[in-house]
Structure 1
């Protein structure tokens, strides 16, 4: 089975999809991650991803591109999957993505959706209120038939050598930024976390 996982948002959102991607990868022959240009570097760090498909969708991001028939046709032609898991934040609708995936011939599609999906979704899941993004994605994967395969922690492929910056041994990276300033921790809070 060829599986597609979509998370069309930013770097951090794609990283949080990692545990769900691993659950899908445990049952699929291959996994393609469809993401936006800001999420692509993170997608390439996730275990279980065989291919990264990058597309700047007109319904996500802070400065989305104009709707283009050529771009829509291009992404529909590029998708090659039997099943798909559409990951979104709570306030996003998965239905525009689901429509494109149906046009691409994807036979099984699962997503969290508050809106009636018609024939666009095979699994319409309702995420738990206030669920962490990583946990919500794992719960959706389970509802779609992709059970957890590990502890659900965030993981990336082995990073490049950083000994000159970090010294020997293990290290932790703290990224104090956020794509929306209202969601960013203060410098003091980041220092406390470290």
Structure 2
């Protein structure tokens, strides 16, 4: 079972693996010692009450943030090196277990190929890195768009503003309602 912690409401510290029709599965400690609250279907916190052994055994703690040092913790989504050579790519994976390899500790992980096939792999700590944040993804997209625009400038040559504007127009760039192209 994969828990999507990105959908967890603020304050969620655990997941109730038993499931509940009126609960999103996310839990947090209540205001009083020993009490717990669960995220209700309406998105608000509901008092569960005192935790019994069934609940305690069913709760899965939220994985701690991983800095990129050592093996990623079980349950975390991160990136793993895929391919070999000078420019390997990275793919998203979920770490499912740790085990002792022949010479070093290893992590087992699952990932999805481009065709939708789910595969299992293993790697040492050097194979993993933290998944990019939404801010990093947006910055990479912006950099790619700027690089493409700069490439268009290179293709047309930076002759004059008027000629460059004509060439960019020919290439399909248009000024939109807020001034952005």
TM-score relative to the length of structure 1: 0.24
Larger radius of gyration: 2
More relative contact order, 1 or 2 (CA 8 Å, 6+ apart): 1
TM-score relative to the length of structure 2: 0.26
More helix as a share of residues: 1
More strand as a share of residues: 2
